[in-house]
Amino acid sequence: MLYGRDTETAALADRLAAAREGRGSALVVRGEAGIGKSSLAAAAAEAAADFTVVRCTGVESEHSWSFAGLQALLLPLAGHLDAIPDHHACVLSRTLGLEAAPDKTAPPGDLRFTVGLAALSLLGAAAVARPVLCIVDDAHWLDPDSAAVLLFLAKRLAAEPVAMLLTVREGYAPDFPTPGLDELRLGPLDDHAAGELLAERLAGVPYSARDRVLRSAEGNPLALLELPAVEPETRLAADWTNTRSTTTRLKQVFGDRIDGLPETTRTLLLLIAADDTADTALVLDAASMLGAQLTDLAPAESDDLVRFEGGRFAFGHPLIRSAAYQGAPVHRRLEAHRTMADVMEPEDHRRPFHLAAAATGPDEAVAAALEASAECASTCGGHGVEYTTFERAAAFTPEGPERGRRLLRAAEAAAAAGNGPKAWELYGRILASTRDRAILARASLIGALVAAWNNDARGAYRLYMEAADHYTAVQPQAAGYPLFRAVELAWQTGDLSRAEVAAEHAERLAIDHSAWVRDLATATAGLNRSCTVAPAEGVAALRRLIDIHKGFGDAVSAEDRGMVAWWQTLVGDIAAAEADASSAARAARQSGSAGALPRLLMMNAVAEFHRGRWKDAEALAANVIDLSLEIGQLIGTVKARAYVLAPVAAYRGDEARVADLAGAMAAQAPADTAVKTGLAEGLLDFTLGRHEDALDRLLSSFDSTAPADILPFVPDAVEAAVRVGDPDRTADLFAWYTEWVEATGQVHLAAVVERTRGLLAPDDEAGIRFERAAALHREAELGSRGFPFEAARTDLLLGEWLRRARRVNEAKTRLRSAAAVFERLGAEPWAERVRRELRAAGDAGPVAAAPDLAGKLTPQELQVVRLAAAGLSNREIGEQLYLSPRTAGYHLYKAYPKLGVASRTELARLGL
């Protein structure tokens, strides 16, 4: 019976009931040691008699054993591997140790996603027969790779008959952040519940001592059970109670009990604690070398400190382990670890960690053993364990080049694991540990990558240039990559001179790829209003780079394919950018290259925004934000808000939404906020008719950032200038925009130029310009889906002109066409402007919006439906969106009635 936990057990019962109905969830239970977390988990297991219950416990010594926790949790479900896709079964078989790892030093991609999706498949297969309850005790001690995968799973159980419960100790334990998951904090028992527990379990405690016990225990159930065994006058005195935490007091209680045992018994307890796996044979082998044997454990068993279950030794509570280990003198702990290492086989993965625990200073033999263990983690795919082990190897490495090399390996593994803060910390330690230029070159690349993730473009530029300098000294040809990246970062900051510096450096080195660096520098200048390079030169340079990268085919990395998609938007080829970004995103998901996904999805979102498919753009941008937060890339969250979500909200006239997005950007990237929010606020002012404010803000945005990134919004600034009667303020800007459009040769952009010229022209010439623009929009639609928002804006201006020219019927046709698009997009200020024109034209009838099937769906449903309409199965959809097949099916089930269809065949006919 759990005393005083009615609310908590009811919450668990609700989650189990939901899982029985196919609505899975995860719950994190937090609290201090002894507060009842494990008891609550045991109660959940007892209430889940109709579930398949699997569990694991985080163990401190296994913190450096890649996927140890995941193996313990999922191995009981291995019988279901035949029911999941072959590639998932292959990944899991290797991860769970059922199959040898491939002979390679590092598998592709981010294992959180490849292993996580495979594990999700396995849980789904196991849950077909009966729901599954996963219990993870002491999650704070999980190895990093298991923790990453389990957190991935915990966020994706919504449509699965799976419940997950994780317990986490607060205080005297590693941090275990669980963003996005529901949490339950266990507090102390109230006086009534504490009194009931004490009376029921410890009826022999004298009444005279009970008040002291209750006060001392402070509502901690374990303390209530253990403190009565302590002498009241020595342990329950007020000064002892008030100056120590409950955890410290309980450790002292257990320590006192251990101190009263025979020395050989204490030796056995120390050995069991020193190797948390409590391997029976190993412990007894080590004990015999230290003069102890199995029978010496009897006094500890009698005192309920340790027991033998499942073929292993187990402590009655984790704090007993801590007391047994930390209460022993240092020389005894070192001796225990040395003995453990001596009795282990050389290939045992635990041996290097015992050698390290027994070392008292730098030791190359220990460092080499740890490095070998880290290499093994790399082979098995555990980047998290890989970097922690390499870092530990470096700590035991004597001063010299080897220390820097091992720190570098740790930093590279941390970056591969997506742990930017750790990679950055290791980068700083590399700088302090070595002057080896080859090591410093690679370290600077890691530092630059992390700086770029954190939206620090200037810092990333500086570090790429430093990497190039280091390579120049030891391997000049390798300097091409960092110099190329440096130009890209200079572009992002709008610093054309820095781009030129990098290009000139490449040319001085006469390296093979100096022409590529020069082309990117030319594009940087030509597309960012340089007075020395024409836009046509910039567009031509980008086209050369696009062709070069296209020529490499599948050899181009996912990250570089995202860069190519960006270039395609800058030469106006939105259709190619959309197709290539979508294709690259699918490939990145299949390979587990999650680090490249934010950029690829971002480019896809930008393309959808320009295409006038705002609902899709918003869904993709939300996906970018979620994924960026999951893998720790700040830049993805900033760009998704700045270049997709904020412009959509601005064009819809949603002031509250723009303000919320501006606040979110300010919180995450304060240095960039003024530029990013200035664009959104300028577009909002323009949409709401505040043209003077709009013009000031838009011109400020073009003056203060790399204008190529916001080229599509130049016509808005020009129109705002026309509305305030001061078109000269944007004359140079529009001339530059026009040169760029002519260089791209894109019909849809030529249509916008003609429309803008119509605004600038006398009224008798404007109509001709507007009609020509409308014709160009129709031409653009022939080869693609067109750009409906821009076409509708042209129809609006043409309709206004036609009404003024008293061609009322023609005006009504144009205005109704524009209104239908604006209504579908939710661009209410624009729709209202059209309605006013229609009323002025004598047409006050309602406007039927163009069909907006996408608007009926949630962002997740929309993504699933699009893929299903393209012919993908639920399993394939799940792999694309990091969902289980059941979750993909659930979203389809919810979407069908909204769309008025009942099958995939009907779905495909909707033209989605």
**Spatial separation of the C-alpha atoms in residues 243 and 254, rounded to whole Å:** 18
Structural contact between residues 503 and 487, judged by C-beta atoms closer than 8 angstroms? yes
Q: Given this model, what pLDDT does residue 596 score?
A: 81
Structure tokens at 180: 């996005």
Q: Are 745 and 540 in contact (CB under 8 A)?
A: no
Rounded-to-integer distance, Cα 147 and Cα 61, Å? 15
CB neighbourhood size of 761 (10 A):
15
| Rounded Cα distance, 563 and 197, in Å | 64
| pLDDT, greater one: 911 or 327 | 327
Cα 333 to chain center, whole Å? Answer: 40
Query: Which tokens belong to 459?
Result: 């810092």
Nearest C-alpha neighbor of 116 from the set 885, 873, 864, 883 = 883
Q: What is the mean pLDDT of residues 545-568?
A: 88
- pLDDT at position 203 is 62
Q: Kindly report which listed range (90-104, 162-176, 616-630) carries the lowest average pLDDT score.
A: 90-104
Model pLDDT, residue 67: 80
Judge whether residue 466 has pLDDT over 60.
Answer: yes
pLDDT tens for 751-798 read: 999 999 999 999 989 999 999 999 999 998 876 668 999 999 999 999
Nearest CA-CA partner of 721 in 737, 709, 742, 744: 737
Q: Phi/psi at 291 (nearest 5 deg)? A: 80, 25
Which token pair is 398? Answer: 């004597």
Q: So what's the pLDDT on residue 237?
A: 45
- Determine the average pLDDT of the residues in 358-387: 80
Q: What whole-number distance in Å separates Cα of residue 441 and Cα of residue 422?
A: 18
Region 828-849 average pLDDT = 85
Tell me what the mean pLDDT of segment 9-36 comes to. 93
Is 257-343 a domain of CATH 1.10.10?
yes
Q: Which residue has the tokens 């594990």?
A: 119
Distance CA 886, CA 22 (A): 10
Query: Which residue carries 């007020």 as its tokens?
Result: 238
With bands split at pLDDT 50, 70 and 90, how would you rate the model's confidence at 382?
low
Which of 218, 166, 167 has its CA nearest to residue 191?
218
User: Where do the structural domains in the chain lie, given as residue ranges?
Assistant: 6-185, 191-243, 257-343, 855-908
**Residues paired with 163 in a beta bridge:** 25, 133
Query: Whole-angstrom Cα distance, residue 723 to residue 687?
Result: 12
Rounded to an integer, the average pLDDT of 714-725 is 96
**pLDDT the model gives residue 62:** 61
CA-to-CA separations, 555 to 497, 560, 598, 724, in angstroms, rounded: 32, 10, 20, 52
Q: What integer is the mean pLDDT of 475-488?
A: 94
Neighbour-count burial of 396, counting CB atoms closer than 10 A to its CB (0-12 exposed, 13-18 middle, 19+ buried)? buried
Mean pLDDT of 553-580: 89
Q: What CA–CA distance (Å, rounded) separates 151 from 875?
A: 21
Average model confidence (pLDDT) across the chain: 87
Check whether 503 has a pLDDT greater than 70. yes
504 has a pLDDT exceeding 60: yes
Q: What is the mean pLDDT of residues 24-46?
A: 92
As a whole number, mean pLDDT of residues 105-124 equals 73
Considering only 9-13, 99-103, 573-577, 800-804, which range has the smallest mean pLDDT?
99-103
**Alpha carbon 892 to chain centroid, angstroms:** 25
pTM, whole model, 2 decimals? 0.80
Query: Residue 905: what pLDDT?
Result: 82
DSSP per-residue string spanning 755-791: HHHHHHS-HHHHHHHHHHHHHHHHHHHHHSS--HHHH
pLDDT at 891: 87
Report the SS3 class of residue 597: helix
829-833-834-835 Cα dihedral, nearest 10 degrees: 90
Residue 57 DSSP code? E
CA dist., res. 109 & res. 89, Å (int): 17
What are the pLDDT digits (tens) for 115-172?
Answer: 888 899 999 999 999 999 999 999 998 888 889 899 999 999 988 999 999 999 987 7
pLDDT value at residue 236: 46
pLDDT tens digit string along 650-673?
A: 999 999 999 999 998 888 766 666
- Do residues 19 and 131 touch, judged by C-beta distance below 8 A? yes
Report the CATH fold assignment for 6-185: Rossmann fold (3.40.50)
Angstrom distance (rounded) from CA 806 to CA 804 = 5
Q: Given pLDDT bands bounded at 50, 70 and 90, which one contains residue 221?
A: confident
Nearest to 116 by CA among 557, 418, 455: 418
Tell me if domain 6-185 and domain 257-343 are identical in fold.
no
Mean pLDDT of 454-464: 91
The single-letter DSSP state of residue 279 is B
Q: State the pLDDT at residue 8.
A: 93
What ranges make up the beta strands (E) of 348-446? none
Provide mean pLDDT across the span 709-732. 94
pLDDT at 819: 93
Which of these, 140, 138, 148, 127, lies nearest to 70 by C-alpha position? Answer: 148
Residue 234's pLDDT is 47
pLDDT at residue 399 is higher than 70: yes
SS3 136: strand
Per-residue pLDDT, averaged over 253-271, amounts to: 91
Structure tokens at 542: 């980008």
Q: 855-908 has which fold?
A: Arc Repressor Mutant, subunit A (1.10.10)
Q: Model confidence over 278-309: pLDDT tens digits?
A: 678 889 999 999 999 999 999 999 988 998 87
pLDDT at 877: 85
Contact (Cβ atoms closer than 8 angstroms) between residue 131 and residue 161? yes
Position 715 confidence tier, pLDDT thresholds 50, 70, 90? very high
Place of tokens 């900051």: 493
With beta carbons less than 8 A apart as the criterion, state whether 857 and 895 touch. Answer: yes
What is the DSSP track for 625-682? HHHHHHHT-HHHHHHHIIIIIHHHHHHTT-HHHHHHHHHHHHHH-GGGHHHHHHHHHH
- Residue-wise pLDDT tens digits, 179-190: 889 999 999 888
Q: Does the structure show a pLDDT above 60 at 617?
A: yes
CA distance 274 to 282: 11
Q: What is the mean pLDDT of residues 345-359?
A: 85
The Cα–Cα gap between 729 and 740 comes to 19
Is there a contact between 109 and 417 (Cβ–Cβ < 8 Å)? no
Give the closest residue to 598 by CA, choosing from 625, 638, 560.
Answer: 625
In our burial notation (b when 16+ CB lie closer than 10 A, e otherwise), range 853-877 reads: bbebbebbbbbbbbbbbeebebbbb
